[in-house]
Chains A and B, each alone.
Chain A
Amino acid sequence: DVKVTQSSRYLVKRTGEKVFLECVQDMDHENMFWYRQDPGLGLRLIYFSYDVKMKEKGDIPEGYSVSREKKERFSLILESASTNQTSMYLCASSSRTSTDTQYFGPGTRLTVL
């Protein structure tokens, strides 16, 4: 079974803090993704990576950056957290095959005060 893990289930930070969210997958997947999920808006793609050290902007990259130094690990960074970044953050991974199914982690509920 594919396993995607995220470093924290719940996180509370203050406005202006630098926040790191970590994601690790154990299936040797090439592709990794970061989404945020808000009520009524569904999942929105922040950034994705299709290889080590590669990154692509998604639909809402403003205020975020990412890092992928190793194939299994993809980090999301909030340089200066703001209250409008309070959300559920979901990491996913997929292989570069015809099935292309994305598998998700359990999510991190981030609250910025």
Chain B
Amino acid sequence: EDQVTQSPEALRLQEGESSSLNCSYTVSGLRGLFWYRQDPGKGPEFLFTLYSAGEEKEKERLKATLTKKESFLHITAPKPEDSATYLCAVRGGDYKLSFGAGTTVTVRA
């Protein structure tokens, strides 16, 4: 069974204070690792897909990296508008995604 563990559960940052979120996974035959952002009361918004170890993707202040066992989401010089819950998910051999419980990031001005 595919498993995804995200840490920490919550992260409080000062504006401009860079940090990283971790997503550890076990999956038989990784077909993709996905990062989503979710604002309170809304559906998840797609950010990145990573397919192979060593791959990196960037979007504004966010950068996602992938190894064979984990992925990191780096937030560089965050702003209050980066406050959200960040979800990690993996896809194995079928169409299903397995999600982690998420990391809630709060950025204070």
Contact = CB atoms under 8 A, between A and B. Distances in A.
A44 B99 CA distance: 8
A48 B96 contact: yes
Contacts of A58: 96
Contact of B43 (A31, A50, A105): A105
A45 B43 contact: no
A43 B43 contact: no
A103 interface: yes
Contacts of B49: 99-101
B79 interface: no
A106 interface: yes
B43 A104 contact: yes
Contact-residue size bin, chain B (C-beta under 8 Å from the other chain): 20 to 34
Nearest to A31: B95
Nearest to A88: B41
A41 B6 CA distance: 12
Given A42-B87, A42-B102, A43-B87, A102 B97 contact: yes
Nearest to B97: A102
Given A99-B49, A100-B91, A43 B42 contact: no
13 contacts: A31-B95, A42-B100, A43-B44, A43-B87, A45-B96, A45-B97, A48-B95, A90-B44, A100-B32, A102-B97, A104-B43, A105-B43, A107-B43
